[in-house]
Structure 1
Amino acid sequence: MIQRTLFRAARPLSRVPPTASPAFRPVVPRLATATPRRFYADAAAKEAGTETSPEASAQSAEETLGLKKALEAKTKECMELKDKYLRAIADYRNLQDRTKREAQAAKDFALQKFARDLLSSLDNLEAGLTSVPTTKLASHDAAPVEEIHADLVNLHKGLQLTEKVLLDTLKRHGVSRFDPAAEGVKFDPNRHEAVFHTPVKDKEDGVVFHTQQKGYLLNGRVLRAAQVGVVKNP
């Protein structure tokens, strides 16, 4: 009973009358709208206390200049290395081409010494064929019977066949014979050897009119120059 009485007596004190003064109402403070501020690099640096000094600017410029010089040096070094690389490639290709040409030349002219040694035999064979008079090689109707020698005719034909076979064999290996007088060409010091000069009528000056010894070529290269007589009119 006593507790209930005390509780009822204290209940009006905890209530706020509806007609209470506005002073007792809670006041909610309003936040003022802040004006936006713009920060710049210089202002930020000044506020932060990190403003760039002239010494730091000079040091940065010096570092930039050093990096630029280093870049230029590396660029120059790269250009030099590229030039050396291209030159090395060109030298290697030239070496390949030269080696190929030398190998081909060695193949083409491997028989040069051997072919030159055979030329004397060909000359002797040709001289033997031209030493026989044509009257002794004529048919029975064109010459007297007593002047015709059948054995000599057969021997001459055999030598002609031997010469033809030998020349054909050499030709298959690049050796060919040429007669400047028969071709009617002018004197060429690279292919001909002038033995004598003489005036000849109805012939142009400098033309080969006589072949004393025929020449030979090996794959286009002069194996032996032809000995010739050249026209030299006054």
Structure 2
Amino acid sequence: MTVQDDSRENELIQLFNLERPVNLSRSGTDAILTLNELKITFELKSTTKTSVTTVRDFGPEHIKKWRGKHWLFGFYEKGGKILKYCLYASPKMMAPWISEKSDYVGSDYKLAQLIPELISISLLYEIVGEKEVYTLEDAQSLQKRQYTIQEYRNKMDLESGYSPEGMLSILKDRCKYLIERGSTLNNPHIPASYFEGWERITTNHAQRLRELVTETIQENT
């Protein structure tokens, strides 16, 4: 997140009287609204345009993270310092967009699950040569920096290294990683048309948000 994005996010948190998660980097949640002892998780986005950018490498982890979340969008003047208006979105309101993007990458991620299991020992031998015992260096030549040293050591199934079956498992992981890496959607936008007809919040931000969230909860009970 850039300094400017971080500043705008902090402004939204203060304006709507939200809280930061205790462990922001691990929680996957930008902000929390406490409402009648409920903890409502929020995704925050800001923009200087009429559309909204999301993330660089959109994939299944974002789908899992965003489903069920509430959203706040801050729309700023071109310079990025003056807030024009905000939009609130319930999980139901965001569901069509998330589902559309999920469908877009879905088949690629199915390939990432299925194709590695088709890799055989003979294919392993074609790639790294045939050995009775493979070394740590052999394994690192396959999976590069995708494992930590400890993970490499944990995967050793022989005292001095890896059996062909152990290396096959690493090769499958590598194949899965490469397919998933190529399957992400780069920075999908939420178009301006998606927000048509949504209420613009320009005053009494904290109060109005709580009213809208309360309405959402009541609709789902």
TM-score, length-scaled by structure 2: 0.24
Report the structure number with the largest CA radius of gyration: 1
Q: Comparing both structures, which one devotes a greater share of its residues to helix?
A: 1
Higher relative contact order by CA 8 Å / sep ≥ 6: 1 or 2?
2
TM-score, length-scaled by structure 1: 0.23
